Each structure stands twice: as structure tokens, then as C-alpha cells.
Chain A
Amino acid sequence: MAPNKNKSSGRASGEDLKQEDVLQAVVIADSFNVRFGPLTLKKPRALLPLVNVPLIDYTLNFLAAAGIQEVFVVCCHLADQIRTHLKNSKWSEVGSSMTVTPILSDGCMSVGDSLREIDSKSLIRSDFILITGDVVSNIAIQNIMDIHKKRREKDKSSLMTMVYKKAPIGHATRCHEDDIVLAVGTNTKRILHYQKTRQEKRLNIPADILLDHSDVQIHYELMDCQISICTPLVPQLYTDNFDYQTREDFVKGILINEEILGNTIHLHVIQDEYAARVSNLQMYDAVSKDIMKRWTFPVVPDQNYFSDKKHVSYGRHNIYKSQDVSLGRGCVLEENVFIGCNTSIGSNTHIIDSVIGDNCIIGDNVKIKGGYLWENVRVEDDCCIDTAVVASGVTIYRKTTVDVGSVLAWNVQVGPDVVLPPNVLLMSDKEKDEFADSEDEDGTDQPTEGTPEFGSKSKAFNYKACRDSDAEDDDDDVDEVMWRLKIHSDDESFDDDDSTILSDESDMLDGDFGDFGDLEDKDSAMFYSELIDTLKRAKEENIKSDNVILEINSLKHAYNISINDVNMSVVKAVLDLPLEKTNTADRSNLLNAFKNSLSEHRPLMLNYIKSSEAQIDCLKAVEELCINNEFVRKILGKLILHMYNEDYIEENNIFKWYSLDSPNQTDPFYNQIQTQVDPLIKWLKEAEEESSEED
């Protein structure tokens, strides 16, 4: 009996898990936006049903399947509902393989806030999965975790692995809002540049990226799955940088700071598996269809994936029927249809690409195409619903047409005998927030029960997305056209649109480099003068070198200077300071002054002049100084020797610098420099040979 136990017992046998082996995940169960219009006023997005199952259940099941043992769910908006949901879920039952802990924090306004909260509670002990509460996936994340850990072993600086899936332009499960351009090292899989395209028609990829890396791939076909594997450092970094609001901010911040902090972000592209985030209504539509078309297998309604109690039967053409469904005579379920428990459908009704929830009553001669009906919806005879979300408790009276892109929120009533305009967002109560006042003045809503334009028995009011004062304007535009975008994508025109954008972008890529030169010069000049001031002030006020370094780093950001320039400028500044003081001093004094200044700024130098690249930069700076100043030119050899003796520079870097093609070759003083350096090089080489002979 004993030998073949191992598979089934596995984790269960109570093996003592080391603490670092507990796999953790953080689920952000809030979207921090109003993409789901009036629907999220009463229920948080994570609990909205997707093919009859709350969104968060998809995420939690995905994590459980991946072998995660400890999950923290950060809930903010309507947190109580999520907490109750989790309490009643199977995760709180005995024998559950995963503990799910809700973290309630009403104060959180962004992903950044949530992670700062996580950090302040110091819950994270090892690498963890960061995911939003609305991701549907069937990835075996364990493999990606292993790759991430292996990479971490080799390279401590890797902070995060982001998961992407290929979904080329025109793919239904790709939404324009989340379009993204990535520059990635071909072999290293390191993300070098990250940019959301949004409405922008231009693409700005810093020239450095293309210059510094020999192999760069630029991706436009990837879809962000919103799953990332993070090191415990990530929440700390969010705490350190209180201005990081979203993961996008974080990624951008890391990429810009990368040169200083040395942190990197990597990417993983999944092949066969499925992962997508329900980030807006268009994605809601697309992901629902993907589930019904079984891309997410085994996460499909008939596999009893979520509970053993609800039985769903599956038939050809992706028709899913729950128990106790009654179908009228002559009704047609064409393809990709899900029908919930106790739902009855009238005769001659035609349904395609739709989800009908539990306890719905659909009348006769109804046409539903791309409709997402939740629970307890009543649709009377002769109605027509096209691409719309109809929330629980809605009643649609007879002969009503709900047109493309509509959202009917909780308990709305519309009809009878009306044709709703496309893209209406309706709710059953008037808005109660501070924005309501202006609504009244507009006079669009009338204080009576219902609005006549939505039918005589209607109980419906227009919903206007409350504008987030922090959000950028173009963000809001995206909100409003969300469904419409999708409809465009049905037309061919959308694709054409996209391809022209792309070609524009590639033009931009070629053309934009010309402007870089002047801008950068100006910036670096400013940066340099600031740097000199900083160093002077530091000396006067006796500021600690650590703080000076911090200040220089912030200057670097302010003027957007590359790290090479910083290195050169620091060296130049350190040498310039004594030069300014001793304008007409004689040679020996000057060398001593240099030496003093160098030892004075030793911590600073050591901080920046570390890598061999930086050392070469340092030598270049010295070279430049020589070109401009004849006194320095004369003592160049000694200066370099001093720097070598004091361990600022290693000898092989001196050789490298020496063998470089100097940009100053045409300079009249170049020869002088060479004559100064030649003996030094000779001496170094001899010394090297000697030492190697000794060996």
C-alpha cells in the first residue's frame, strides 16, 4: 500500500513546510476605476458574475490550482460584501488547500496604496504573485515561478516577472485601452521600455535602449494578463516611492531608475494557456465568449470547476444548460449560450453568444445576441437585446429594443414599446453623490418616477460616470466610448485605423532621434552647474556624502540625464572645484589640490565610479578636462597614476580607454595628451608583465 501513496497524499501528509516555502499571493479586489459604470455602485467588480460565477472565484480558483497556500485579498470599495463572500466560499471550509485572508482598507485609492498597506503589515515573506481580482486564467503559474526564482538566483536585481499573452491586433480579446508597447531584450527577456499607447499616436523609445542593447525586440502584439510575480522588495519600493499609484507607475519608475538602483523587470509570454483580465466591458464580453468557447479549459462551466453542487450540461455548439431549465417550443439556442438554473425561455426565442443567469424569465419571440443577463431578469415578449449587460432584477417590458452597448444596472425597468438609444447606461435610482446637483440643473432627469423616453412603465435614469478629479482627461474619454470601441472593431475600419497608427509609429521611430542632441546638451549643462553648486554647498554646510549622492540622483531625474553623463559630470566637478580655486597656481599645487579634492569626495567617487564602464567614463571626463585646460594637460599622467594608486580606476580599464577612438583626435592638443599618457601605459604594461612573470 505504501509505495503508491505519494501522489494522492502529496501536501496532505502534513510535511513540515518551511516558512519560505509557503506560496503567497496578493489579490487586489478593487479596480479603482469606474469602467463598469453604474454596475459597481452596488457591488464591487470582483463580485460581478462572469458566466454565472463571481469574478473573484475565477482568480481564487486559479491561485488554488497553482498551489498557492496563502492569499491576501485587499478590498476597498464595498469591502464588506467581498468579506462575506469569502466567508461563505469553499475556502473557509475544512480541508481547503488555501487560506484566504481579506484585508479591509477603505482608505486605499490605488494599487499603490494597497501594496503599501500590505507592506506596513509585513505579511509578505517570499516571492509572491500579484494579481487583480478579476483575472481569468488557467496558467500553471508554478513553472513561471520557478523560472523567476532561477533568474533571481543568478541575478539578484530582478524584481518582478510580468506575464503576457500573445494576442495580435484585431484579436477579440484585446482591448484598445490596454494596448501596450514593450521593448524587450531578446535573450534576457528583460523589459527595457514600457509604454501604454492609449490615444497617443507617437511612440517614444529612448535612443539609449537601442544603443545600449544589441538585441531588442519591440512588441505590440502582447496583452497584459495582470499577473506578476514579485519579490518581497516590491511592496517596500511602493512604500519608498509614495507617488507610485498603479503598477504602470511602478514599472515605469523601476525602468527609469534602473541604472541607479539596478533593479530589473522581466517578462514571460505564455503559449498554450489562457489568461486575461476583465478590465472593462469590452473585455467582459470577450472573456465571457472565451470561456464559452472553452479557451480557458478546464475553467469551463461544465467541469464542476467551482463547486460540485451546480451541475451544468454541455452540448454541441457550446450550449451550456444548468439544471431545471425550461425551453419553449421552437426556441433556438444557436451557439455559445449559457443558461442558468430555473430559467425559462419562451417559444420562438432566438439566443446567440449570450449568458442568461439563474431564475430568469425570457418571453416569446425574443431575440438576444451578445446579451449578458444576470439573475432574476425578466424579459417580456417580442424584445430584442443586442450586446448589452443586464444586471440582476431588471425588467424589460414587451416590444422593447435594447441597443448595442447598453448597460442596465440593478432593478432597472424599461419599456414597453421603446427603442433605447445605443450606449445608454441606466440605473434605477437617481445619483446620490455630489455630482447630482449639476444633473438637476441640466434638466435631463425629471423628478417623476421614470423617464418617458425609456417607456411608460420605466424606472430608469441616465448614469453619468463621476469624474475622478485625479484622472487625466483622456482616461475619461476612454470610459465613455468603451462599448463603442468594441462595436467599431466589428467593422473593418477599426483594423485599418490600427495599422495606420502602427505605420505612423514606425515613422516616428526613425525620425525622432534628430532632436535628441540639443535638448540633451542643454539639460546636461544645467545639470552640471547644479551639480557644482551642490558640491560647494555640501562642503560649506558639511552635508553627509550619502545625502549628496541622494541629491545628485534626484538631479539626474530632474534633468533626465543618462548615468554615463552623471559619472562624467561627477568626475569633472570633483576636478573642476580645485581648478576654480587655483586659477593661476603652479603645477605641483594643482596636482595636490586635485588629490585633496579627490580624497575629500572619495565616497562620492566610489559610489559612481564602480563598474568598468563608469571608470572609462571617468577617464573620458579627465581627457575632456585636459583638452580644455593646459595645466591639467601637463599633469595628466600623474593624475591618472594617482587615481590608479588610490583604486579609483583599474589598470585594464585604463588600457581600454587608451585603445578607444577618442572623439578629440582632431584636437590640436590630442598629441600632447598622448605623450603624457604613453609612458604611464608603458609602465603599467611592464608592471603587468612583471607580475605575470612572477606568477
Chain B
Amino acid sequence: MIHFVLLISRQGKVRLTKWYSPYTQKERSKVIRELSGVILSRAPKLCNFVEWRGHKVVYKRYASLYFCMCIDDTDNELEVLEMIHHFVEILDRYFGSVCELDLIFNFHKAYYILDELLIAGELQESSKKTVARLIAAQDSLVETAKEEASSLSNIIAQATK
């Protein structure tokens, strides 16, 4: 299973963290510090796997961002690599050629997408289309709710004038 997902920028800034195994806040920041040290210092041509505290961390760099997933020792590293790519493609479709800034300003959207992809550290959906459809449906639910709320407040505003 995936123990956590981590997105870190080349400068070591955290862009997304998702924990599927219990880590306390203290452990979390320690993990992030340790791992960014290890991963950011690796040369480009090396393999995408790092052994770390009895687990393995699979990472892949896309532009300025490192996507990392920590998995069990017995898991399939190559598959996780493919999973990271799967996630990136979905993000790319959603944002339209995604860049780091998209993930900074719309970090919650990235989380929503991740939640449609993984639950309990396991893969949920292998179809990019399905994920995109589900996210779009929920986004439109939010939009409708917002519109309703604003028209409601307009009515109230007019009524109380």
C-alpha cells in the first residue's frame, strides 16, 4: 500500500502531502525534511527508487516538481511509477498543461483529484476519463450551490432594502 504521497518543489517546498498511514505532525515534518534531502540530491539519471526506513520511496520529477510515493518493501515499484504518471496526466487534463503555480493556487483541487485516484493508499480508478468526469460533476455541484447562494442573498438584499 502507499503510505504517503508527497509533492515537493526543487526548492524543497511542500506542495501536497497525503498520509495514508498514521504519522504524527512531528513525524510528518521529519519525514518531509529527510526525504527532500535524499531525493533532491539525487542525480538525474539514477533509478527512481530510494530505500528509506524499511520502505521504498518511488519518486519522479516533472518539471520543477518531485512526485513521491512511499510504498511497502514488497510492492511493485514500476507500477507505482506508472501510477504517479497516471496522476500527473489527470492533473494535466484538468488544469490544461499543469504547472507548479496551478498546484499552489488550486492545491485543494489537486487534493480532490488525488482523492478520486487513491483511497486508503490503494488505487481506486485506472480510467483518467472517469476521474475527470467525477471531478467535473462535483465541481458543477459546487457551482450550482454557489449560484443558488448568491441569488438567495440577492433576493434577501432586495427584500430588506
**A, B in one complex:** no
* Chain B residues at the A interface, C-beta cutoff of 8 Å: none
Chain A interface residues (CB < 8 Å from chain B): none
